[in-house]
Amino acid sequence: MTVIAPGISVERWTASSRLTLAVMTVVAILLAASPAFMGAGVIDRMTALFIYVILAAMWNALAGFGGLVSVGQQVFFGLGAYFTIRLADAGLDPFVSLFVAAIVTGILSVPLSWFMLRLKGGEFAIGMWVIAELAHLLVNLDRLIQGETGTSLIALNAYDSGTRRVTIYWLALAAMIALLGALFALMRSRAGAAMQAIRDNEDAATSVGVRVAATKRLLFVLAAFGIAVAGGLWLATATTFQPKTYFSVQWTAYMIFMVLVGGIGKFEGAILGAVLFFVIETVFGGTGVWYLVGLGAAALLFSLYLPQGLWGAIERRFDLQLLPVGYRLTFSDLFKAKQ
């Protein structure tokens, strides 16, 4: 806490935020030890939850913190899975391939950012969708993939099903924690403050010396890498790869839903939205097309009546910040009394 005037101070950490980090540390330890007590089905579902959290956090970073709304992030999800297949086919261990594929996708996103970040608003959103469709078509040309017939990550057959399931679980948990930690640290840095300044007013941010292009590129590449990790992990759980599935716009639709419901621009909101989506999918996923209709209707209602999402409403109602990425002014009781 920094005092800037009598009775007025600036703080980043609160008692609740410190307690939250302690609780999250304990939960992470318990989750790491949980496979010893969980059945195969529960392990698979928890792995899916970790992947959803990654997807929501990365889209929220791009759109909520950076103001870069995209409907084509499935391009990185698909490429993460595709390069995993390619690297494993070349002889690399399939679990190592997951993360090497994400690095390759992140590297490819750098030159892509030089073109895409020149676009603004809706142009950027649609432009990313076009890139996703183009990548989909190019992957279909690969003889290994066999068009929409697809292929499988057969290298995973070297591991027995129990070992494979638990390893993927631990990798997904580790990836989620690492990416959330990296994003949290980034958003609390000078670069994070610059990103939010660009989101709020790009011209004003430029006028005070913010390097707009470089800052946007950093966020763009981080989101690409994180979503590619999620794509590789999803491939490991499903083992089969069909381009039309991994490059489907439904993945970005899921990301948007989770962030809108949880709270766009709120670090906690993306996590809450992912958990809610996971619960809804678990309970209603078997209802077919009505499940998708329900998701669309829920997203529309939240956009109209709770534009800040559930966590935004909670934060406003109770003045609660569990994982603050910005600063907040606090006023002493004496200062308030004088007012």
Structure confidence by residue, pLDDT tens digits, 286-307? 777 777 777 878 878 877 888 8
Confidence of residue 10 (pLDDT cuts 50, 70, 90): low
Q: pLDDT at position 326, please? A: 63
Matching residue, tokens 């496979």:
35
Confidence of residue 313 (pLDDT cuts 50, 70, 90): confident
pTM for the full predicted model: 0.90
CA quadruple 194, 197, 202, 203: dihedral positive or negative? negative
Predicted confidence (pLDDT) per residue in 179-196, tens digit: 999 998 888 888 877 887
Other CB atoms within 10 A of residue 89 CB? 15
Matching residue, tokens 């600036």:
10
**φ and ψ at 5, to 5 degrees?**
-165, 160
69 close to 264: Cβ distance less than 8 angstroms: no
CA quadruple 269, 169, 135, 297: dihedral positive or negative? negative
Q: How far apart are CA 134 and CA 152, in angstroms?
A: 22
CA-closest candidate to residue 324, choices 332, 333, 315: 315
Q: What are the structural domains of the chain?
A: 2-338 (1.10.3470)
Q: pLDDT at position 284, please? A: 80
CA-closest candidate to residue 248, choices 153, 150, 108, 154: 150
262 close to 298: Cβ distance less than 8 angstroms: no
pLDDT(11) > 70: no
